[in-house]
Amino acid sequence: MKEQILTPVFSPQKILVVALGLAIAIALVALLIYQIRMADPYVRSVLSLNGRIAQGNAIFQMNCSGCHGQQANGKVGPSLRGVAERRSQISLIHQITSGKTPPMPEFQVSPEEMADLLSYLKTL
Ligand code: HEC
């Protein structure tokens, strides 16, 4: 008796269509997450304010320099040089308020103070 072995055929077109579909799905999910985060009233009010760099520096020295260093070039926590170029404002806000990366604590910061902090982080 002869055995029938079926070899599946993967056409390059099919793979391309599936890959394209996946890419679109991922983009949509990313867009959705961005929209949800942007809709957060806290994020909106932070982004609507003009932060003051000097105030942000003062807040940083009191709350953050113990871990990130007085010049923000790293100690227990990583250096924050150029961090505002690498990460979006929303992800920075999330980083500071979430405490999801221990040992960095969760900070409760008023929108004004957060705007100040962000404007300071942008100078690094
Ligand atoms: C107890 C120590 C500690 C304190 C206080 C602290 N951090 Fe952090 N921070 C960390 C550590 C550790 C990480 C790295 C977490 C990780 O991703 O593994 C981090 C990460 C970060 C990052 C992300 C850096 C990157 O490269 O993406 C930012 C931004 C940040 N901290 C800002 C702040 C700010 C602003 C404050 C003050 C309001 C603060 N941190 C206070 C320990 C601290």
Per-10-residue mean pLDDT, the chain, length 124: 76 90 96 85 92 95 94 92 93 90 89 96 95
CATH C-level class of 17-121: mainly alpha
Q: Read out DSSP for 50-85?
A: ---HHHHHHHHHHHTHHHH-TTSS-SSSPP-TTHHH
Neighbours of 30 (CB within 10 A): 10
Give pTM, 2 decimals: 0.78
Q: Contact 67/75 with Cβ under 8 angstroms? A: yes
Q: Give the separation between CA 21 and CA 14, rounded to whole angstroms.
A: 11
**Per-domain boundaries in the chain:** 17-121
| Closest residue to atom 7 of ligand 1, CA basis | 104
* CA 78–ligand 1 middle distance (angstroms): 7
Q: Which protein residues are within 6 Å of ligand 1, measured from CB? A: 63-64, 66-68, 76-78, 80, 83, 87, 92, 95-96, 101, 103-105, 107, 117
CB 56 within 8 A of CB 118: yes
